A = this chain, B = another copy of it.
Amino acid sequence: MQDKHLLIVGAGLCGSLLALKLAQHGYKITLVEKRPDLRNADISAGRSINLAFSDRGLKGIKRVGLEDKVKVLCIPMNGRMLHDKNSNTKLSPYSGQDGNYINSISRSGLNALLLDEVEKHDNVHLIFQAACQNVDVESAKAEFINEKTDVNFHVQADYIIGTDGAGSVVRQALMKNRELRFSFSQNFLTHGYKELSILPKNGEHQIYKNALHIWPRGENMLIALPNLDGSFTVTLFLAYEGGDYNFNNLTNPKIVEEYFKKDYPDAHALMPHLKEEFFDNPTAALGTVRCSPWTYKKTLIMGDAAHAIVPFYGQGMNASFEDVAVFDDILNEVDFDLDKAFSEFSQTRKQDADGIADLALDNFHEMKAHTAQELFLQKRQLELAFEKEFPDDYASKYSLVTFNEDIGYHDAKVRGRAQDKVILYLLKEGHLPEHLSLKEKLEIVKTHTNRYLEDEVINV
């Protein structure tokens, strides 16, 4: 039983899971969220944003014993369903191994479940609609304003953990501290995104339910993830400028229809509300936030507050949930000394956060362009065969990141990038001819990859 009082700023996915785990350890928790309680808010059915949930996220969920309750919310996606301009489709599995899949899950559904569980603990005080105004990172005191009454109040804790997302106020407090010499970067892609939808027909999914659908178009792309109610949440990733169509020139229904008919004809046929949705829904930016250190004295940041990434690996929530698992491991290792845990977490987790940030940027290019290229398809075929025949001997970059939660993101990045380069090179140069057995091909790939990795070490 721990007697410290922790203030957690932000009750999104990361903050709620963290509060639950720390409540289970017996800490006194104040969990404060800026927005209204999403369990009471009027959210139109099926229109909530969905997310990809996979093994690293599950690692965090297992820590709090919620795997069975989360499973009910999940729709398995076995691979990418690629749609070409002529409406042909092709399923590209995520892994050659059976039982390796990712899941589509509702953000609000998952968040609601976590909040329900948090509220079962008497040692948690949950406050909604209170925006953090300022944090004293040395004394663990934070000021809030109640958004309904406009009344200010403050919370004096023993420690503060900021899980308040990409625009974190807690992070801004760290940044203002000159003594800390806080390194920080925010970088935006040339592309933004907009959410749209494919509604159910007679309560059923109108396209194949158990896949993440992609319409890769070189510079831009459309994707769709299934919801439990039979709908799909569709996301358009489009450049702000340049090319024939972009967010700056899609300014009237006519040109929007023209673009979708031309580039995404099969999706377009299933989106009768496109014109309305396109202009009703916001266009949002795609940014990466990196910073260091994540802690100072009595304050720590975690999740998107510490490492916001672009969504292209489906790892944002998974990385945040893994943060909670990693932090929990460290807490146990240092015998619940929070000062030591904050410092250790900030130092050891940073490299993996940078790893997934880089990987997510890699995958942006891979998804919108490479998935449709012949050499890339050959590589995928080969890797799937390796994974199927030699499950203990090979995992693709995607599998390393998504299904091998015991390997850190950084190591997954280094090995995964090397494998990608080596296989594409070997295929291009004809060094993996047909007459070789699969086993022989695997040996060649592994030898070249290891040699490449050794060279990298020497070059550093």
Interface residues of A (CB under 8 A from B): 178, 181-188, 240, 285, 287
Contacts and interface: CB of A to CB of B under 8 A. Distances in A.
Contacts of A178: 285
Contacts of A182: 186, 188
Contact of A183 (B181, B183, B187, B240): B187
A287 B181 contact: yes
Nearest to A186: B184
Contacts of A186: 182-185
Give the 3 A-B CB pairs with smallest separation, nearest first: A185-B185, A181-B188, A183-B187
Looking at A178, A182, A187, A287, which has the most chain B CB atoms within 10 Å of its CB? A187
A240 B293 CA distance: 15
Nearest to A167: B178
A106 B178 CA distance: 27
Nearest to A190: B181
Contacts of A183: 185-188
Nearest to A180: B188
Contacts of A285: 178, 181
Contacts of A188: 181-183
Nearest to A189: B181
17 contacts: A178-B285, A181-B188, A181-B240, A181-B285, A181-B287, A182-B186, A182-B188, A183-B185, A183-B186, A183-B187, A183-B188, A184-B184, A184-B185, A184-B186, A185-B185, A185-B186, A185-B187
Contacts of A185: 183-187
A184 B186 CA distance: 5
Contacts of A187: 183, 185
Given A183-B188, A185-B187, 15 more contacts: A178-B285, A181-B188, A181-B240, A181-B285, A181-B287, A182-B186, A182-B188, A183-B185, A183-B186, A183-B187, A184-B184, A184-B185, A184-B186, A185-B185, A185-B186
A182 B287 CA distance: 10
A49 B395 CA distance: 57
A181 B184 CA distance: 16
A284 to B, nearest CB: 10
Nearest to A181: B188
A183 B187 CA distance: 4
Contacts of A240: 181
A251 to B, nearest CB: 15
A185 B178 CA distance: 15
Nearest to A185: B185
A285 B178 CA distance: 9
A185 to B, nearest CB: 3
A285 B181 CA distance: 7
A183 B185 CA distance: 7
A182 B289 CA distance: 12
A445 to B, nearest CB: 22
A187 B182 CA distance: 7
A169 to B, nearest CB: 14
